Structure 1
């Protein structure tokens, strides 16, 4: 049985439409991948740029982001942050240092209490330290600090953490209503090697993108586990 000419034409048109859809679909997927790569690379550059900023402008408080501690002894990551905070206090950046962070199950001390003890041993007066003993990740810690500071009518904070952590902490603090800038530590495991630096930038790029997309915590066992 012969195929009618109009049937062959309809079949060819259908194939043409299908091919066109595939071409446009491929272009859309390719375009989305390019946009995604630009977004990721642009965020990584911003993480690197803000990591290099050291702003010693006087503030209402120096805020130290918590990290792991062991029976009251700060981990090397936490100690590097606390050392920087004590230095900022000695330089007159603020009259108040805020430590923040809760504790894991079985811990005897909170991160905030451990940090306070370290600072007192470093010469910071007890009445110049506010320990905010809540927060299991960066977001909850920043929100707890913001609540504590607003309750004392304090508005500005210089944030102390690892360099690569600076942009995310600053973003969260500003979202929480604080006038915040950063003066990160330049010592500790986070900055020892090129490998640790690259790992920190990659991790913080992913965490910041997740936070900006969802406004949920995005620590991936980062600060709480170090």
Structure 2
């Protein structure tokens, strides 16, 4: 069974599809049966997405997960998945929206900031 879960917050003003719908279409184009796709579209942040996806997966008896995301986001996403108890594996994308140091650095700093905030929250 293939399961795609994707947060829906990744829509800019010019976007017409949620990340989840775009991922679903991509999977179908790459020969994944539509009935094997499970979408999570209620979340707006990574932690919520993973929690919701995990709940759906438990009901569907799905036991392992591959997290596909931007390489700069992978550490935080995988940390959260493991903290939820997910048997999760990383599969960073080979491409990124962040192509230059001018775009990569702010995103990396944001990810570091949010990872530290997440880890501090889990200590409380």
Shorter chain as denominator, the TM-score bin is 0.7 to 0.9
Match of 1:141 among 39, 49, 52: 49
Contact 2:2 2:32 in 1 (8 A): no
Displacement over 4 Å in runs of 4+: 106-110
Which residue number corresponds to residue 119 of structure 2? 212
Which residue number corresponds to residue 168 of structure 1? 76
Contact 1:97 1:128 in 2 (8 A): yes
Which residue number corresponds to residue 98 of structure 1? 4
Match of 1:199 among 95, 101, 106: 106
Which residue number corresponds to residue 92 of structure 2? 184
Contact 1:100 1:134 in 2 (8 A): no
Whole-angstrom CA distance in 2 between matches of 1:116 and 1:195: 31
Match of 1:125 among 33, 37, 57: 33
Which residue number corresponds to residue 86 of structure 1? none
Q: What is the SS of the residue equivalent to 2:39?
A: strand
Unmatched segments (≥5 aa) in structure 1:
1-94, 216-226
How many residues are treated as equivalent by the alignment?
119
Task: State the Cα deviation string for residues 61-117 of structure 1 (Å, max 9, x = none).
Answer: xxxxxxxxxxxxxxxxxxxxxxxxxxxxxxxxxx4131322367x997543233212
Which structure is higher in RCO with an 8 Å CA cutoff and minimum separation 6? 1
Whole-angstrom CA distance in 2 between matches of 1:122 and 1:181: 21
Structure with the higher helix share, 1 or 2: 1
TM-score (norm 2): 0.81
